[in-house]
């Protein structure tokens, strides 16, 4: 197998041409496999077919590579949340729930990004660019909360949108961190993380006075009601899916 490196070099010549990108991709793969702690700079270099010193032409040190990945992660995260929110279409509440699901989906499908963003142990506030990217992602949640707060029923003091956003973020992050990834930190659950978070958000919104006791067919008009689910009363509440 030792011909690999030479062959690669023969293929590409002395200069790689796109090393920075290749390193980021390699690091992403490695973090996905072994977590941000298990990832090594030398491995990424090997995977890209260059010498262990080459990466230092593109990243000051190992931490800067991880920070770059976190940065890119926040950008994709923002994009995913934006798409899920879809500016509140077709209605604010269901769009809001889509955002929660998108949060979990991102944590599950991009565990490498997620752990680089939240579990790599690097100080968020040390890197202003990183901090800004993180805040842009949170701004989506905040904007959604803003729209939701505006819909709050009258007759009660209107909840501060910032607080709502922080609450939703904490719920999503808590569920994702504790139960969200398939393999790591697995704990037995009576329901899926998605359903768990959806119930939590619905209960929370009801606590703010939002009417949330919709029937399933009001939420997904095209979907026939499942036959194996017998309702437990006049309405089955947000936790209707619990085991």
**Which residues make up the interface to a copy of itself (CB under 8 A)?**
35-38, 115, 118-121, 123-125, 134, 156-157, 159-160, 162-163, 166-167, 169-175, 177-179, 183-187, 189-191, 196-197, 199-200, 202-208, 232-233, 236-239, 242-243
Residue 171's binding partner out of DNA, a copy of itself, none, with CB under 5 to 8 Å set by partner kind: a copy of itself
Among 29, 43, 75, 146, binds DNA (CB under 7 A): 43
Among 34, 37, 52, 219, binds DNA (CB under 7 A): 52
By the rule CB under 7 A, 42 interacts with DNA:
yes
> What string of DSSP letters covers the chain?
-THHHHHHHHHH-S--SSHHHHHHHHHHHHHHHHHHHH--HHHHHHHHTS-TTGGGGT-SSHHHHHHHHHHHHHHHHHHHHHHHHGGG-S-HHHHHHHHHHHHHHHHHH-HHHHHHHHSS---GGG-HHHHHHHHHHHHHHHHHHHHHHHT--TTSPPPPHHHHHHHHHHHHHHHIIIIISSSTT----SS-HHHHHHHHHHHHHHHTT------HHHH-TTSPPPTT----SSS--TTTT--
By the rule CB under 7 A, 17 interacts with DNA:
yes
Of 103, 120, 83, 232, which Cα lies nearest the Cα of 180? 103
Tokens encoding 104: 């979990």
Shortest distance, position 72 Cβ to DNA, whole Å: 18
Residue 93's binding partner out of DNA, a copy of itself, none, with CB under 5 to 8 Å set by partner kind: none
Q: Are 115 and 31 in contact, with CB atoms under 8 Å apart? A: yes
Residue 181's binding partner out of a copy of itself, DNA, none, with CB under 5 to 8 Å set by partner kind: none
By the rule CB under 7 A, 19 interacts with DNA:
yes
Among 25, 47, 62, 171, binds DNA (CB under 7 A): 62
Among 7, 37, 51, 87, binds DNA (CB under 7 A): 51
By the rule CB under 7 A, 2 interacts with DNA:
no
By the rule CB under 7 A, 54 interacts with DNA:
yes
Shortest distance, position 200 Cβ to a copy of itself, whole Å: 5
Interface residues toward DNA, by CB under 7 A: 9, 13-17, 19, 40-43, 50-54, 56-58, 61-63
């Amino acid at each position: 197998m030792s011909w690999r490196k030479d062959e690669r070099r023969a293929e590409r010549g002395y200069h790689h041409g796109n090393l920075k990108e290749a390193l980021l991709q390699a690091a992403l793969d490695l973090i996905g496999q072994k977590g941000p702690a298990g990832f090594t700079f030398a491995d990424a270099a090997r995977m890209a077919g260059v010498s262990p010193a080459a990466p230092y032409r593109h990243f000051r040190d190992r931490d800067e590579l991880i920070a770059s990945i976190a940065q890119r992660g926040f950008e994709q995260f923002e994009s995913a949340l934006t798409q899920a929110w879809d500016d509140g279409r077709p209605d604010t509440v269901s769009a809001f729930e889509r955002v929660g699901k998108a949060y979990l989906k991102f944590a599950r499908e991009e565990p490498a990004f997620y752990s680089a963003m939240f579990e790599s142990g690097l100080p968020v506030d040390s890197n202003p660019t990183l901090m800004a990217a993180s805040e842009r992602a949170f701004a989506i949640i905040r904007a959604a909360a803003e729209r939701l707060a505006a819909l709050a029923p009258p007759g009660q003091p209107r909840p501060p949108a910032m607080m709502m956003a922080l609450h939703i973020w904490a719920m999503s992050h808590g569920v994702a961190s504790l139960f969200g990834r398939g393999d790591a930190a697995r704990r037995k659950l009576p329901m899926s993380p998605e359903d768990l978070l959806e119930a939590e958000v619905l209960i929370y919104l009801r606590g703010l006075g939002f009417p949330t006791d919709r029937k399933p067919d009001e939420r997904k008009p095209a979907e026939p009601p499942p036959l194996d689910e017998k309702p437990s009363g006049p309405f089955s509440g947000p936790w209707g899916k619990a085991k």
